[in-house]
Copies of this chain bind each other. A is one copy, B any other.
Protein backbone atom coordinates (compact mmCIF):
# COMPACT_ATOMS: atom_id res chain seq x y z
CA UNK A 1 0.00 0.00 0.00
CA UNK A 2 1.17 3.49 -0.80
CA UNK A 3 1.80 5.98 1.97
CA UNK A 4 0.84 9.65 2.00
CA UNK A 5 3.46 11.59 3.92
CA UNK A 6 3.16 15.05 5.37
CA UNK A 7 6.05 17.47 5.59
CA UNK A 8 6.12 18.60 9.21
CA UNK A 9 7.39 22.08 8.42
CA UNK A 10 5.06 23.04 5.55
CA UNK A 11 2.17 20.52 6.04
CA UNK A 12 2.57 19.65 2.34
CA UNK A 13 1.39 16.12 1.37
CA UNK A 14 3.34 13.70 -0.83
CA UNK A 15 2.16 10.31 -2.08
CA UNK A 16 5.01 7.81 -1.85
CA UNK A 17 3.83 5.62 -4.74
CA UNK A 18 5.22 2.25 -3.86
CA UNK A 19 3.37 0.62 -6.80
CA UNK A 20 5.54 2.64 -9.11
CA UNK A 21 8.60 2.44 -6.90
CA UNK A 22 11.99 2.80 -8.47
CA UNK A 23 15.26 1.94 -6.86
CA UNK A 24 17.58 4.94 -6.56
CA UNK A 25 20.16 3.25 -8.76
CA UNK A 26 17.62 2.94 -11.59
CA UNK A 27 17.41 6.71 -11.84
CA UNK A 28 21.10 7.11 -12.54
CA UNK A 29 21.63 7.30 -16.30
CA UNK A 30 23.75 4.38 -17.46
CA UNK A 31 26.25 6.87 -18.77
CA UNK A 32 26.27 10.50 -17.75
CA UNK A 33 25.51 12.49 -20.92
CA UNK A 34 28.97 13.66 -21.86
CA UNK A 35 28.38 16.78 -23.88
CA UNK A 36 31.97 17.93 -24.15
CA UNK A 37 31.79 21.67 -23.67
CA UNK A 38 34.93 23.71 -24.20
CA UNK A 39 36.45 25.81 -21.40
CA UNK A 40 35.69 28.91 -23.45
CA UNK A 41 32.80 29.51 -25.82
CA UNK A 42 33.13 32.53 -28.13
CA UNK A 43 29.34 32.95 -28.35
CA UNK A 44 28.60 32.78 -24.62
CA UNK A 45 27.71 36.17 -23.04
CA UNK A 46 29.13 34.96 -19.71
CA UNK A 47 32.58 33.98 -21.03
CA UNK A 48 35.62 36.24 -20.45
CA UNK A 49 36.13 38.65 -23.34
CA UNK A 50 32.36 39.02 -23.82
CA UNK A 51 31.82 41.30 -20.80
CA UNK A 52 30.28 43.96 -23.02
CA UNK A 53 27.46 41.55 -23.93
CA UNK A 54 26.00 41.79 -20.42
CA UNK A 55 24.90 44.95 -18.57
CA UNK A 56 27.78 46.45 -16.51
CA UNK A 57 28.77 44.30 -13.51
CA UNK A 58 27.54 45.13 -9.99
CA UNK A 59 30.18 42.93 -8.32
CA UNK A 60 33.28 41.07 -9.43
CA UNK A 61 36.30 39.46 -7.79
CA UNK A 62 39.61 40.09 -9.53
CA UNK A 63 42.49 38.75 -7.43
CA UNK A 64 45.02 40.05 -9.92
CA UNK A 65 43.29 43.43 -10.29
CA UNK A 66 42.04 44.81 -13.63
CA UNK A 67 39.33 47.09 -14.93
CA UNK A 68 35.61 46.42 -14.38
CA UNK A 69 33.89 44.62 -17.26
CA UNK A 70 37.12 43.16 -18.60
CA UNK A 71 38.52 39.61 -18.24
CA UNK A 72 40.49 38.51 -15.16
CA UNK A 73 37.57 37.87 -12.78
CA UNK A 74 36.89 34.73 -10.72
CA UNK A 75 33.18 35.47 -10.28
CA UNK A 76 31.01 38.25 -11.64
CA UNK A 77 27.50 39.52 -10.88
CA UNK A 78 25.61 41.38 -13.61
CA UNK A 79 22.00 42.51 -14.01
CA UNK A 80 20.02 40.09 -16.15
CA UNK A 81 19.94 41.35 -19.75
CA UNK A 82 16.18 40.61 -19.89
CA UNK A 83 15.22 41.39 -16.30
CA UNK A 84 11.91 40.32 -14.81
CA UNK A 85 12.20 43.29 -12.40
CA UNK A 86 14.38 46.44 -12.34
CA UNK A 87 15.76 48.49 -9.42
CA UNK A 88 14.16 51.70 -10.71
CA UNK A 89 11.17 53.75 -9.64
CA UNK A 90 8.85 53.46 -6.70
CA UNK A 91 6.75 50.57 -5.49
CA UNK A 92 3.18 51.57 -6.20
CA UNK A 93 0.04 49.58 -5.88
CA UNK A 94 -2.50 49.96 -8.67
CA UNK A 95 -6.06 48.81 -9.00
CA UNK A 96 -7.07 48.76 -12.66
CA UNK A 97 -10.76 47.85 -12.70
CA UNK A 98 -10.72 46.35 -9.18
CA UNK A 99 -7.77 44.00 -9.97
CA UNK A 100 -4.51 44.51 -8.07
CA UNK A 101 -1.00 45.02 -9.38
CA UNK A 102 2.30 46.41 -8.12
CA UNK A 103 4.95 48.19 -10.19
CA UNK A 104 7.77 45.84 -11.20
CA UNK A 105 10.42 47.33 -8.93
CA UNK A 106 13.08 44.88 -7.77
CA UNK A 107 16.28 43.34 -9.00
CA UNK A 108 17.20 40.48 -11.30
CA UNK A 109 20.88 39.60 -11.19
CA UNK A 110 23.03 36.79 -12.51
CA UNK A 111 26.08 35.48 -10.70
CA UNK A 112 28.50 34.01 -13.22
CA UNK A 113 30.16 31.49 -10.93
CA UNK A 114 33.33 30.86 -12.91
CA UNK A 115 35.13 32.22 -15.95
CA UNK A 116 35.17 28.64 -17.29
CA UNK A 117 32.27 27.88 -19.61
CA UNK A 118 32.31 24.17 -18.78
CA UNK A 119 32.79 24.44 -15.01
CA UNK A 120 30.15 23.22 -12.56
CA UNK A 121 29.67 23.63 -8.80
CA UNK A 122 29.77 19.83 -8.46
CA UNK A 123 33.16 19.45 -10.11
CA UNK A 124 35.01 22.72 -9.48
CA UNK A 125 37.36 23.13 -6.52
CA UNK A 126 35.98 23.95 -3.08
CA UNK A 127 37.86 27.27 -3.26
CA UNK A 128 35.95 28.20 -6.42
CA UNK A 129 32.64 27.20 -4.81
CA UNK A 130 33.54 29.46 -1.86
CA UNK A 131 34.01 32.39 -4.24
CA UNK A 132 30.48 31.86 -5.60
CA UNK A 133 28.98 31.55 -2.09
CA UNK A 134 30.79 34.72 -1.02
CA UNK A 135 29.36 36.60 -4.01
CA UNK A 136 25.80 35.53 -3.12
CA UNK A 137 26.27 36.57 0.51
CA UNK A 138 27.67 39.94 -0.58
CA UNK A 139 24.76 40.62 -2.97
CA UNK A 140 22.29 39.74 -0.20
CA UNK A 141 23.95 42.29 2.08
CA UNK A 142 23.73 44.97 -0.60
CA UNK A 143 20.13 44.23 -1.62
CA UNK A 144 18.95 44.08 2.00
CA UNK A 145 19.67 47.81 2.24
CA UNK A 146 17.04 48.65 -0.37
CA UNK A 147 13.86 49.36 1.58
CA UNK A 148 11.71 48.95 -1.51
CA UNK A 149 12.47 45.22 -1.48
CA UNK A 150 10.57 42.64 0.57
CA UNK A 151 12.20 39.39 -0.49
CA UNK A 152 15.38 38.08 -2.09
CA UNK A 153 14.98 34.85 -4.04
CA UNK A 154 18.21 33.07 -4.88
CA UNK A 155 18.10 30.02 -7.14
CA UNK A 156 20.12 27.93 -9.51
CA UNK A 157 18.62 26.20 -12.55
CA UNK A 158 20.92 23.41 -13.70
CA UNK A 159 20.22 21.69 -17.00
CA UNK A 160 17.56 22.25 -19.63
CA UNK A 161 14.75 20.24 -17.89
CA UNK A 162 15.25 22.59 -14.92
CA UNK A 163 14.61 25.65 -17.10
CA UNK A 164 18.21 26.65 -17.75
CA UNK A 165 18.89 28.07 -21.21
CA UNK A 166 22.60 28.86 -20.75
CA UNK A 167 25.31 26.27 -20.11
CA UNK A 168 27.81 28.60 -18.44
CA UNK A 169 27.48 28.01 -14.66
CA UNK A 170 25.38 30.68 -13.01
CA UNK A 171 23.02 31.45 -10.15
CA UNK A 172 20.21 33.98 -10.26
CA UNK A 173 18.90 36.44 -7.71
CA UNK A 174 15.45 38.01 -8.06
CA UNK A 175 14.46 40.53 -5.40
CA UNK A 176 10.76 41.37 -5.20
CA UNK A 177 8.78 44.20 -3.58
CA UNK A 178 6.23 41.64 -2.33
CA UNK A 179 6.51 38.62 -0.02
CA UNK A 180 6.11 35.33 -1.95
CA UNK A 181 3.01 33.30 -1.14
CA UNK A 182 5.04 30.09 -0.64
CA UNK A 183 7.26 31.78 1.92
CA UNK A 184 4.26 33.32 3.67
CA UNK A 185 2.70 29.86 4.00
CA UNK A 186 5.92 28.29 5.28
CA UNK A 187 6.25 31.03 7.88
CA UNK A 188 2.62 30.72 8.92
CA UNK A 189 3.06 26.97 9.55
CA UNK A 190 6.36 27.54 11.36
CA UNK A 191 4.70 30.14 13.58
CA UNK A 192 1.90 27.75 14.48
CA UNK A 193 4.43 25.10 15.43
CA UNK A 194 6.33 27.61 17.53
CA UNK A 195 3.18 28.82 19.26
CA UNK A 196 2.23 25.20 20.09
CA UNK A 197 5.63 23.79 20.99
CA UNK A 198 7.84 26.78 21.80
CA UNK A 199 10.59 25.83 19.41
CA UNK A 200 11.47 26.07 15.70
CA UNK A 201 10.03 23.25 13.58
CA UNK A 202 13.15 23.10 11.39
CA UNK A 203 15.34 22.68 14.48
CA UNK A 204 13.03 19.88 15.60
CA UNK A 205 13.11 18.20 12.18
CA UNK A 206 16.92 18.01 12.42
CA UNK A 207 16.69 16.53 15.91
CA UNK A 208 14.10 13.91 14.87
CA UNK A 209 16.05 13.05 11.72
CA UNK A 210 19.09 12.48 13.90
CA UNK A 211 17.05 10.21 16.21
CA UNK A 212 15.68 7.95 13.48
CA UNK A 213 18.84 8.27 11.39
CA UNK A 214 17.40 7.04 8.09
CA UNK A 215 17.53 10.03 5.76
CA UNK A 216 20.72 11.90 6.68
CA UNK A 217 23.17 12.41 3.82
CA UNK A 218 25.80 14.45 5.65
CA UNK A 219 26.25 16.23 8.94
CA UNK A 220 29.06 18.72 9.39
CA UNK A 221 29.85 21.09 12.27
CA UNK A 222 27.55 23.71 10.77
CA UNK A 223 25.18 22.02 8.30
CA UNK A 224 22.68 19.19 8.28
CA UNK A 225 22.02 17.61 4.86
CA UNK A 226 19.13 15.16 4.46
CA UNK A 227 16.35 13.90 2.24
CA UNK A 228 13.06 15.08 3.76
CA UNK A 229 10.53 12.53 5.07
CA UNK A 230 8.00 13.90 2.53
CA UNK A 231 10.40 14.40 -0.41
CA UNK A 232 8.52 15.63 -3.48
CA UNK A 233 11.10 14.50 -6.04
CA UNK A 234 13.52 11.58 -6.12
CA UNK A 235 16.71 12.74 -4.37
CA UNK A 236 15.18 15.98 -3.05
CA UNK A 237 17.89 17.17 -0.65
CA UNK A 238 17.85 19.94 1.95
CA UNK A 239 20.85 21.73 3.39
CA UNK A 240 19.92 23.30 6.74
CA UNK A 241 22.22 25.39 8.94
CA UNK A 242 22.46 23.95 12.47
CA UNK A 243 22.58 27.45 13.93
CA UNK A 244 19.04 28.79 14.01
CA UNK A 245 18.49 31.90 11.89
CA UNK A 246 15.51 33.09 9.86
CA UNK A 247 17.61 35.23 7.53
CA UNK A 248 20.39 34.03 5.25
CA UNK A 249 23.56 35.62 6.58
CA UNK A 250 27.11 34.34 6.56
CA UNK A 251 29.34 35.90 9.21
CA UNK A 252 32.73 35.66 7.57
CA UNK A 253 35.23 33.47 5.76
CA UNK A 254 34.66 30.44 8.02
CA UNK A 255 30.90 30.63 7.52
CA UNK A 256 31.31 30.92 3.77
CA UNK A 257 33.66 27.95 3.71
CA UNK A 258 31.39 25.67 5.70
CA UNK A 259 28.43 26.36 3.44
CA UNK A 260 30.63 25.91 0.36
CA UNK A 261 31.76 22.56 1.77
CA UNK A 262 28.22 21.28 2.46
CA UNK A 263 27.01 22.48 -0.93
CA UNK A 264 29.97 21.10 -2.84
CA UNK A 265 29.80 17.70 -1.14
CA UNK A 266 26.05 17.39 -1.77
CA UNK A 267 26.17 18.44 -5.42
CA UNK A 268 29.20 16.21 -6.01
CA UNK A 269 27.34 13.22 -4.55
CA UNK A 270 24.31 13.90 -6.79
CA UNK A 271 26.59 14.38 -9.80
CA UNK A 272 28.42 11.12 -9.21
CA UNK A 273 25.55 9.00 -7.95
CA UNK A 274 22.72 10.23 -10.16
CA UNK A 275 24.73 11.17 -13.26
CA UNK A 276 24.56 14.98 -13.18
CA UNK A 277 20.78 15.37 -12.96
CA UNK A 278 19.00 18.58 -13.91
CA UNK A 279 17.94 20.37 -10.72
CA UNK A 280 16.62 23.57 -9.22
CA UNK A 281 18.41 24.80 -6.13
CA UNK A 282 16.42 27.29 -4.07
CA UNK A 283 17.37 29.30 -1.01
CA UNK A 284 14.47 29.82 1.41
CA UNK A 285 14.70 32.61 3.96
CA UNK A 286 12.44 35.09 5.72
CA UNK A 287 11.21 38.23 3.98
CA UNK A 288 13.23 41.36 4.74
CA UNK A 289 12.50 43.23 7.99
CA UNK A 290 10.04 40.52 8.99
CA UNK A 291 10.23 39.58 12.68
CA UNK A 292 9.94 35.84 12.46
CA UNK A 293 13.40 35.27 13.90
CA UNK A 294 12.37 32.76 16.56
CA UNK A 295 10.36 30.42 14.39
CA UNK A 296 11.58 30.50 10.78
CA UNK A 297 14.83 28.90 9.64
CA UNK A 298 16.65 29.58 6.37
CA UNK A 299 17.72 26.59 4.30
CA UNK A 300 18.52 25.38 0.80
CA UNK A 301 16.35 22.93 -1.15
CA UNK A 302 17.78 20.97 -4.07
CA UNK A 303 15.01 19.64 -6.32
CA UNK A 304 16.29 17.23 -8.99
CA UNK A 305 14.00 17.29 -12.01
CA UNK A 306 13.80 13.50 -12.27
CA UNK A 307 10.02 13.58 -12.73
CA UNK A 308 7.56 15.96 -14.40
CA UNK A 309 5.09 17.89 -12.27
CA UNK A 310 1.81 17.40 -14.13
CA UNK A 311 -1.89 18.18 -13.64
CA UNK A 312 -2.19 16.47 -10.27
CA UNK A 313 0.75 18.33 -8.73
CA UNK A 314 -0.13 21.70 -10.29
CA UNK A 315 -3.76 21.43 -9.30
CA UNK A 316 -3.57 20.04 -5.80
CA UNK A 317 -0.07 20.82 -4.52
CA UNK A 318 0.19 17.13 -3.62
CA UNK A 319 3.22 15.45 -5.16
CA UNK A 320 3.77 11.86 -6.20
CA UNK A 321 7.24 10.47 -5.58
CA UNK A 322 8.44 7.07 -6.71
CA UNK A 323 11.65 6.88 -4.67
CA UNK A 324 11.66 6.49 -0.89
CA UNK A 325 13.97 9.09 0.68
CA UNK A 326 15.36 6.44 3.07
CA UNK A 327 16.67 4.59 0.02
CA UNK A 328 17.95 7.60 -1.86
CA UNK A 329 19.72 8.96 1.24
CA UNK A 330 21.40 5.60 1.82
CA UNK A 331 22.45 5.48 -1.83
CA UNK A 332 23.70 9.07 -1.82
CA UNK A 333 25.83 8.50 1.29
CA UNK A 334 27.99 6.15 -0.80
CA UNK A 335 29.02 9.15 -2.88
CA UNK A 336 29.79 11.53 -0.02
CA UNK A 337 33.49 12.07 0.58
CA UNK A 338 36.44 11.99 -1.74
Contact = CB atoms under 8 A, between A and B. Distances in A.
B3 A101 contact: yes
Contact of A157 (B17, B97, B151, B310): B310
A247 to B, nearest CB: 16
Interface stretch (A70-78, A177-185, A288-296): A177-185
Nearest to A161: B308
Interface string A92-104: 0010111111111
A53 interface: no
A338 B197 CA distance: 62
A311 B162 contact: yes
The binding surface of chain A is classed by DSSP as: mixed
A181 B86 CA distance: 33
A240 interface: no
A103 B156 contact: no
A198 B101 CA distance: 23
A229 B99 contact: yes
A89 interface: yes
B172 A311 contact: yes
A85 B311 contact: no
A34 to B, nearest CB: 24
A58 B185 CA distance: 39
B84 A2 contact: yes
Interface in A1-35: 1-6, 8, 10-13, 15-20
A1 B86 contact: yes
A156 B2 contact: no
Contact of A164 (B12, B283, B310): B310
Contacts of A100: 5-6, 8
Nearest to A321: B84
A280 interface: yes
A225 interface: no
A126 interface: no
A301 B318 contact: no
Contact of A3 (B83, B102, B208): B102
Interface of A: 1-6, 8, 10-13, 15-20, 82-86, 88-89, 94, 96-105, 151, 153, 155-157, 161-164, 172, 174, 176-178, 180-183, 185, 204, 208, 211-212, 229-230, 280-284, 301, 303, 308-312, 314-318, 320
